[in-house]
Amino acid sequence: MSSYSKGLEGVIAAETRLSFIDGEKGVLEYLGIPIGELASHSTFEETVFLLWNGRLPSRDELDAFNAEIRRRYDPSKEIARLVMEMPGSGEPMHVIRTLVSAFGLFDPSPNAIDLPSIRDKALTLLAQTPTILAYFQHHRRGTAIVLPDRSLSLAENFLYMLNGKRPTPTMAKALDVCLVLHTDHGLNNSTFSARSVISTESDIYSALSAAVGSLRGPLHGGANEGVMKMLGQIPTVDSAEAFIQDKLARKEKIPGFGHRVYKSYDPRASYLKVLARQLAEDTGNRDLYEKSARIEAVMDREKAAKGIYPNVDFYSATTYHCIGLPLDLFTPMFVVGRIGGWSAHLLEQLADNRLFRPGVLYTGPHGVRYTPMSER
């Protein structure tokens, strides 16, 4: 090894056609299409089709893809039973990780990694992860399960199953947009984890379980929960500035700000900011949005010159709260979106696979004498 980069920063470990990021200019594209255009005009299902097939679908193709996803909303009896056997005190991210792995127990060919098999298994996981989350929410609340409705899109169906009533068009659109924005993002930690596992020619369930475990971390997908907790600690809009200044004085990190890649405004945050404001107005959460805006104003004044701007987690927290999601379902919704992107990367990795095996810079001693037990 000729060089060492802590955290693999700046190291190129894979080639991809799926998403492009320019952190200096604040650009994110899926297959060359700017993320703002997809968020404005596409749907989550169409975005997944794009990533899995390398092109946008025709109307007939999209209708068929939607129908295939909806046909799989209902989990098997075995998976449904496992959901209901999870401890109600369990964290949803641990539940998802466990159940994604458990799918492999009931798959007659769990180790098949040919591309059609990976695609088929990914479709099932994509369709049923929201169902599992909704089932678990009812299980831990002690309320009756709401069965999937195949006439609804993935985002609509999840909110319907969660709340027992059809969501408003605004709420369904908001969740759909969040899923689009979260679908893929280069070789982030969870995507790298998934590609690394599948590069051993392991199985999709192992690869995606590893990805879920990675995403759970507060330095990755778990950051949006930290944003919401912070907002809850600020009693009023007018007290937001003093709260942030106090944290900065103690050299504490502000949840939802800064990114390893973006040194300008995260394009996903730009879109979510507008969405969060609209939702806050519609749902009576204007103060929550105003707190966020006040925090951003302080951080813009204090930290923007250092390239620290809001990231996707900052305004997604407000968005998820406004559509009625419990705090510990914020990161699981990130999983729902990212399964589409992770699966696309698995397909891409397996199409031209090479085992990931980086080197390591040894910093220990050499030639150390073994000390016999009698001399210790």
CB within 8 Å of 324: residues ≥ 6 apart: 159, 162, 163, 171
The one catalytic residue in 176, 313, 321, 345 is 313
CB within 8 Å of 295: residues ≥ 6 apart: 234, 240, 244, 254
Q: What is the DSSP string of 248-288?
A: HHTT---TTB--SS-SS--HHHHHHHHHHHHHHHHHT-HHH
Type of residue found at 291: K
SS3 22: strand
The structure tokens listed for 110 are 């769990």
The one catalytic residue in 220, 282, 300, 328 is 220
Q: What is the C-alpha separation between 317 and 234, in angstroms, rounded?
A: 15
Q: Exposure pattern of 297-314 as b/e (b: 16+ CB <10 Å)? A: ebbeeebeeeebbbbbbb
Closest CA to 256 of 288, 285, 295, 286: 295
The one catalytic residue in 139, 182, 185, 259 is 259
The structure tokens listed for 85 are 């056997």
- The question of whether 321 is a catalytic residue gets the answer no
Type of residue found at 273: K
Pair 256, 311: CB distance under 8 Å: yes
Show which residues are catalytic: 220, 259, 313
